Structure 1
């Protein structure tokens, strides 16, 4: 099997994909009597940042801690897919130059 065919096959076996990133934040609540006013912030809180197709800007949504590892896997799958896709494009270009 050629490198092109191998990449094409692998690309379809990656599983669920999520373009974006996970951000961890520590926040202050604004209460002057709270521990966060003395430097011990609340958190961590997790956010998923992703490209919004309608606006072209980065959007974000708060996510619970228990989905972080699954989402990290999906992001890694997407990054691998993107890399493999570009490699496929490069191979196709070379094949057409022929």
Structure 2
């Protein structure tokens, strides 16, 4: 058993992470960041939960770029093939659940 205080978590670099669990090929990781990630497409589905801070999630659908501001407690689901990039507004802590080894 382990308790992680998500709001207190920091990392040495943007998108640094702590693995919370790895179960049946699915990882749950806590990330800290103050910098955008990069445009990418995951190898599978992804669940992205903002635990602390705000994140502008940009994604492309049918070649058109969209942006949605996520607040603490908001959840973004990326289906297979969804091109997206997370851009924090200041510091943010996010929980990411995805296929193990995914980008």
Between Structure 1 and Structure 2, the one with more helix by share is 1
Normalising by structure 2, we get a TM-score of: 0.23
TM (normalized to structure 1)? 0.24
The structure with the greater share of residues assigned to strand is: 2
